[in-house]
Structure 1
């Protein structure tokens, strides 16, 4: 075998090893050169996260500094998919862009919560739930692909599908998804998350292969006492399931208040109540609205100060 062939084979082997253990070459803006970056998955046990509605960030130096000012330790990133008129699931954001965001987040020191999001036919918020059983396999194909990427990129938390109870039209389909998606444990060695809209189905069962359970709570009116009572119920349900299935943890996968329905002051007070009623009783938070979209809080100084104040406690 010639030296040239041996050299090429050696390069290919090194590339495979690098991909397997999370080694990347990154561009150093200060030197203008590529530098070697090796990432080890963080052992994050309490989530202090934020999320954009559409999972998009610039993650330039200015945004990273702004995010760090909130004392966060991670961000949620969502590969976006939708069902087209041909009834097939299509990619809405290029895969390479999402992978680049994951790597930028890790380079900034943030843990990553990766969660594919499949939107049914229609235009938000009037989106149809998926009724055809074929979408279980279609969504699983997407989840399988991103589980492989999550493992390669050493992602800390991976939810195979955003809100299956809001994606599929029937409880039977939701339960099929919950059962099937746990097979991803064979591919992904990080924290596997099951995340429901609101508090999920009335009965949540057979989730023992998951590591974490998460609920998404959206509240957009100033019924403060009602919210306090609701958060107590939510914590009780989540922690009972955590104990029943011996999960690592239960956290809030999305917390938000829609700004078209509340002003900045009310949004900030809702954030305060989210935290006051649940702090010390759950394993983390992810506030939705790092954007200029429906649930935006990035322009709300008071809301950001509340997040920062509480996230500094631990």
Structure 2
């Protein structure tokens, strides 16, 4: 009998040592854990189910932002918004945290779509960073990263050294890590941050898409993660320009491995509507399946 569970034998349980734990404005944190089995198998779009504290048996799903398979670490960006993540925010370097991962269906890349447009909002930024890390140095792809936040970014924005002539005047702020990887990035916010686009990430993306000649527009595929309303807007943008689009959904989860079906969403399929588990059937879905026109 064919095993229809592609995630079988690819999820690992590890006690990950905290290597670093940085705090940023807006209750944002970047956590780096030594978890070599997770680091070796993680792909862009993967997440881990993390035990925040021994007093909280239910884990929290957190998207993977970066990995080093050679050094064995995994990095996460999260926001402390509830009791579990607030307890996690108190954990210190040297402590051990139980990590279950990597979990989920990752993003897939089409070599015929060589201009990936990566759109991330808030704590939806990490999967876009992971995609960028994966594509860095790959001459077959020319990604553009657009990130948005309504609290200060969890990094110090700087004027980009990579010029983009198809951007609005004055929109020059970037994520420094992207410049290091030679991947252009631009930032958007409604908070008036210097060098950022004053508006939504989709407004900035639309401006760039409208400036592309038809032969370049035909090479674009959109990848996105962020709040549900933002993803709906991204899906409409993709439909507007007739572009393929993959979105990573954020849902509350209990088990994180497909057993409890507590994270199901309705998805459009060729056979009609179906209920899919975000944890193992996703979190990455075709935008047209989740947000049908």
Greater Rg, structure 1 or structure 2? 1
Tell whether the structures are fold-level matches, with TM greater than 0.5: no
TM-score (norm 2): 0.29
TM-score (norm 1): 0.27
Structure with bigger strand share is: 2
